[in-house]
Structure 1
Amino acid sequence: MSSKPQKERTDGSGSIAVRRLPNRTQRTSEIDREAVFDVLSNARRRYAIEFLNQHEPGDEIDLSDLVEYVAARENDTTVANVDYKQRKRVYSSLRQTHLPKLDECDLIEYDRSRGTIELGDAVTEVRMHLEYVPENDIPWCFHYLGLTAILGGIVALAGVGLYPFTELSTVAFGTIATVVFGLSAVVHTVHTRRNEIGSNVQLDE
C-alpha cells in the first residue's frame, strides 16, 4: 500500500479528520491507543470495519453492500428492511466522510471511482477493540480484581487465626479458588461472544 501524507480535513461539522496511524516502526503504545479510539469513536466507522472483517483479506466489497449493512446496524433491523431514506443518509456520510478517513489511516483501501472497499494493513490495530461493552456494564478487569481481593482477604483472615477460615485446608482453598475463577472465565467467554459487535445482526429476513 502506498504511503499517504498526513493531513487534517474537516467533515463539514467542524471535526478534525482522524490522523493516519504511524508506520509500525514509529509507533508507540500511547499513539496507537489514541489513534484507535479516534477511529472507533464513530459508530458508522465501527460498523464499516466489522462488516469488512466478515470477508477474506483482499476481497473487494461494493459500497452498496456496505451501505445496506451499516444502515441495518444503526436502525436495528435487517438489510432487507432498510428503506431508501436510511440508505441514502448512510451512503452520503460514508462516501464523503467516513470512508476517506478510514482510508487515510490505512484501515481500509477505498477506491472512490469504482465504489469498492477492502481491509487495509492497519486494521489489526483495532480488531481487539471491537468488543461491544453494554452501558453500565462492569468491566471484567474489575470483576477479577474483586475476586482476587476477596480470596486474598480469606487468606489474611486465616493467617490471623479467625474462625472459621482457619478450618480451610490448602486443598479446600485451592479448590474454591479454582472453581470461582473457572466459572468466571466461562461466563466471561460467553458474555464476550454474545456482545461482539455485529454478532446479533440479521442480514436476511
Structure 2
Amino acid sequence: MTTHSDRRQAGSNTTVPRGAILGNARPPTTVQRRRALESDRRRAVLRRLLDADEDERIPVQTLAGVLADAEDDPTIVTTLLELRQRIYVSLCRTHLPLLESCGLVAYDRERGVVSRGRDLPAIKSDLEGDPVDGNAPAEPA
C-alpha cells in the first residue's frame, strides 16, 4: 500500500501537504516543533532562513548546494553532484513540505524558492542552542 504525503485540493492543481490547514494562523505545536527540529537538514534550512533578509527568497538549488557542501565527505564514494541531487530531492519531497505545514517556511514549488514562514521567529530560541551553531552549553564532566 502506498502512502502519499501530499494530496490534491479539490478542483485545483495545487498540492496541499498533509496536516496543513489552509488559513490556519495557529503557531506550531510542541510536537510539530520537535518533529521539524529533529533533522539536521531541516535545522540547517531554518538557520539559513533566519540569517537571510526577512523578505529574501532562497532558491531550493542554493539550499541544496549549501547543505551538500556542509555534508560533503571526501572519503565517501558519492560525488558532490550526486549528494546535491539527493539533498535537493529530499528537500522538495520531505523537508520543505513538512516545514511549510508547520508555518516555518513558505515554499513556492512552481518557482523553486523558499522564504521565511509566519511562525519561524517562534522557534529561533530553539535553534540558538543548537550544537551546529557552536553555542551549545558545555556538557557536565
TM-score (norm 2): 0.69
SS of corresponding position for 2:35: helix
Q: Write the letter of the residue equivalent to 1:83.
A: L
1:105-124 equivalent positions in 2, closer than 5 A: 105-124=102-121
Could you tell me which runs of 5 or more consecutive residues in structure 1 were left unpaired when the two chains were aligned.
Answer: 1-7, 12-16, 135-193, 198-205
1:75-154 equivalent positions in 2, closer than 5 A: 75=72, 83-130=80-127, 131-133=129-131
Structure 2 residue 46 is matched with structure 1 residue 46: no
Structure 2 residue 134 is matched with structure 1 residue 195: yes
Which aligned segments of 4 or more residues in structure 1 are displaced greater than 6 angstroms?
none
1 or 2, which has the higher helix percentage? 1
The number of equivalent residue pairs is: 117
Deviations 1:116-135 (A, max 9, x none): 1101110012111112248x
Taking structure 1 as reference, are residues 120 and 38 closer, same or farther at Cα in structure 2, changes over 3 Å only? same
Deviations 1:66-88 (A, max 9, x none): 111111223369xxxx8101101
Identity, % of aligned pairs? 26
Identify the residue that residue 143 of structure 1 maps to in structure 2: none
Measured after TM superposition, the shift of residue 20 of structure 1 is 5.2
Question: Root-mean-square deviation (CA), in Å?
Answer: 3.1
Q: Is the 8 A contact 2:5 2:18 kept in 1?
A: no
**What is the rounded CA distance, in whole Å, between the counterparts of 1:99 and 1:42 in structure 2?**
12
1:152-171 equivalent positions in 2, closer than 5 A: none
**What is the rounded CA distance, in whole Å, between the counterparts of 1:18 and 1:35 in structure 2?**
13
Larger Rg: 1
Measured after TM superposition, the shift of residue 100 of structure 1 is 1.2
Measured after TM superposition, the shift of residue 108 of structure 1 is 0.7
Could you tell me which runs of 5 or more consecutive residues in structure 2 were left unpaired when the two chains were aligned.
Answer: 7-16, 137-141
TM-score (norm 1): 0.49
Q: Is the 8 A contact 1:106 1:120 kept in 2?
A: yes
**What is the rounded CA distance, in whole Å, between the counterparts of 1:195 and 1:96 in structure 2?**
29
Q: Is the 8 A contact 2:45 2:63 kept in 1?
A: yes
**What is the rounded CA distance, in whole Å, between the counterparts of 1:41 and 1:119 in structure 2?**
19
